[in-house]
Amino acid sequence: MLGDLRLRRAYYHCFACQSGVCPRDATWGLDGSSLSPAVTRMVGSVGARVSFQEGRDLLDQLAGVRVTTKQVERTAEALGARIAEEEQTIVTAPQPAPATTLYLGLDGTGIPMRSKELVGRAGKQPDGSAKTREVKLCTVWSAETKDDKGRPCRDQGSVSYSAAIESAALHDSQTGVSPFAQRVVREATRRGFDRAPHQVIVADGAAWIWNLASEHFPDALQILDRYHAKEHLADAAKAIWGPESQIGQQWLEQRFDELDSGKVDDLIAAYSRHASDCSEARLCSDYLATHRTRVRYPDFHAAGLCTSSGVVEAACRVAVGQRLKRSGMHWTTRGANAILALRCSLLSGRYETSWQRRRAA
């Protein structure tokens, strides 16, 4: 960042093995790299935030460091891969006691991939092919803060993220646990989720989420995101009455009131009455029965708990979408996972800690 410097250092060559070395390079942290540690750190920071080309431009404009777009890409991905390795091996629980209540959220979002990464994969295209792969993400946060209406709000700076393209279903032959489940357990351990007096998992209705939650966090309270629940009610009501029906809208408002007041049995009965004539009504009734214990919203509100997965939805946008789902981007699995690790580290406040470890080494 100080401009161009011209340095001289000794070079030693071994005639026996035909290799050379500059001892000073190791001292400066230049082994195997043409960039100094300070520049590598800057490249990682911009690579986690913006496209590689934008990162190159920012480094030139703000620091006078001239590197190519390809250098930014290779350096950021190499750094992200190293951070991803650290994520799997460095799992340290916090020393101070965690917040009274910690929330864990799980979700998935698709990112565009290069065609070679999608060979043989089924997808939602008209021909059955895929254009994307799903990034699975977990986030942990606290919500001790209240808004002016007394509702819980996420605490500033309390959110952490961990994400990758990996399966929640395929189990590792040694551990018997899926790769994503292992990721979730690591993040929960890092944040002290298992030590929190109150553990809450908030998510949508995806079966894989609740299977994972029940298996690895059996003591946690499970809450179905209230907006997803209402979305299911609304879609089924439209199927029953038609999308423009005024009667259907009034009927739906009654169902919303039943949901908000905890009258789950009445709600299930209302949809069951239409189950024989409408498959969507039957599916909605089954959906409510499956999540009966997760939609006790009056009880949750009385306990001062979040019933919305807004933090998780925002995590998909902030940690994944804003960096990996921009126009024209197409990723390899290796590259995407490296940048996801880099970005999650930065957003979770762990990027500086990673550099401190490098300096100590």
Q: Report how far apart, in Å, the C-alpha atoms of 210 and of each of 35, 55, 222, 259 are.
A: 45, 39, 8, 20
Q: Tokens 């309270």 label which residue?
A: 221
User: What is the predicted pLDDT for the residue at 27?
Assistant: 77
Verify that 128 and 161 share a domain, yes or no.
yes
Which residue did the predictor score with more confidence, 127 or 95? 127
Q: Which residues, 6 or more positions from 149, have their beta carbon under 8 angstroms from its beta carbon?
A: none
pLDDT at position 48 over 80: yes
Residues 307, 225 contacting (CB under 8 angstroms): yes
Tell me, yes or no, whether 290 lies in a domain: yes
User: What is the predicted pLDDT for the residue at 355?
Assistant: 82
User: What is the predicted pLDDT for the residue at 28?
Assistant: 76
The pair of three-digit structure tokens given for residue 295, joined into one six-digit string: 């939609």
Verify that 243 and 272 share a domain, yes or no.
yes
Q: Alpha-carbon distance 158 to 191, whole Å?
A: 10
pLDDT at position 291 over 90: yes
Verify that 117 and 184 share a domain, yes or no.
yes
pLDDT at position 353 over 90: no
User: What is the predicted pLDDT for the residue at 272?
Assistant: 95
Average pLDDT on 131-138 reads 95
Verify that 120 and 210 share a domain, yes or no.
yes
pLDDT-based confidence at 2, cuts 50/70/90?
Answer: low
Which residue did the predictor score with more confidence, 95 or 279? 279
pTM of the model: 0.89
Average pLDDT on 110-131 reads 90
User: What is the predicted pLDDT for the residue at 273?
Assistant: 95
Residue 203 β-bridge partners: 224
User: What is the predicted pLDDT for the residue at 192?
Assistant: 92
Verify that 21 and 145 share a domain, yes or no.
no
What is the tens place of the pLDDT at every residue in 309-324?
889 999 999 999 999 9
State phi, psi for 249 to the nearest 5 degrees: -65, -40
Tell me, yes or no, whether 94 lies in a domain: no
User: What is the predicted pLDDT for the residue at 259?
Assistant: 96
User: What is the predicted pLDDT for the residue at 151?
Assistant: 85
Per 3-state DSSP, what percentage of the chain is helix, strand, and coil (rounded to 5)?
Answer: 50, 15, 35
User: What is the predicted pLDDT for the residue at 216?
Assistant: 94
Tell me, yes or no, whether 62 lies in a domain: yes
User: What is the predicted pLDDT for the residue at 205?
Assistant: 87
pLDDT-based confidence at 329, cuts 50/70/90?
Answer: very high
Verify that 4 and 81 share a domain, yes or no.
yes
The number of beta carbons lying within 10 Å of the beta carbon of residue 91 is: 13
Taking the mean position of all CA atoms in its chain, how far away is CA 139?
Answer: 6
pLDDT averaged over every residue in the chain: 91
Tell me, yes or no, whether 114 lies in a domain: yes
pLDDT-based confidence at 51, cuts 50/70/90?
Answer: very high
pLDDT-based confidence at 361, cuts 50/70/90?
Answer: low
Q: Where are the beta strands (DSSP E) in the chain?
A: 12-14, 19-21, 101-112, 132-142, 145-146, 152-153, 160-164, 198-203, 221-224
Q: Report how far apart, in Å, the C-alpha atoms of 271 and of each of 244, 254, 286 are.
A: 19, 12, 9
Average pLDDT on 253-279 reads 95
Tell me, yes or no, whether 305 lies in a domain: no
- Short-list 281, 272, 135, 106, CA closest to 205: 106
Verify that 67 and 198 share a domain, yes or no.
no
Domain count along the chain: 3
What is the tens place of the pLDDT at every residue in 153-187?
889 999 999 999 999 887 766 667 899 999 999 99
Q: Tokens 């043409």 label which residue?
A: 34
Verify that 149 and 248 share a domain, yes or no.
no
State phi, psi for 20 to the nearest 5 degrees: -125, 160
Tell me, yes or no, whether 306 lies in a domain: no
What is the tens place of the pLDDT at every residue in 197-217?
999 999 998 999 999 999 999
- Count Cβ atoms within 10 A of the Cβ of residue 49 and give its class: 0-12 exposed, 13-18 middle, 19 or more buried: middle
Tell me, yes or no, whether 307 lies in a domain: no
pLDDT at position 26 over 80: no
Q: Any idea which of 32-41, 56-65, 198-207, 279-288 has the lowest mean pLDDT?
A: 32-41
Verify that 163 and 116 share a domain, yes or no.
yes
- Short-list 204, 205, 155, 208, CA closest to 184: 208
Give the angle 58-63-64 at the CA atoms, nearest 5°. 95
Which residue did the predictor score with more confidence, 98 or 173? 98
Q: Any idea which of 25-29, 99-103, 237-241 has the lowest mean pLDDT?
A: 25-29
Domain that holds residue 260: 227-298
Verify that 198 and 72 share a domain, yes or no.
no
Report CA torsion sign: 65, 69, 70, 74.
positive
Q: Alpha-carbon distance 239 to 232, whole Å?
A: 11
Verify that 70 and 204 share a domain, yes or no.
no
Q: Alpha-carbon distance 33 to 74, whole Å?
A: 11
Verify that 194 and 144 share a domain, yes or no.
yes
Tell me, yes or no, whether 177 lies in a domain: yes
Residue 253 β-bridge partners: none
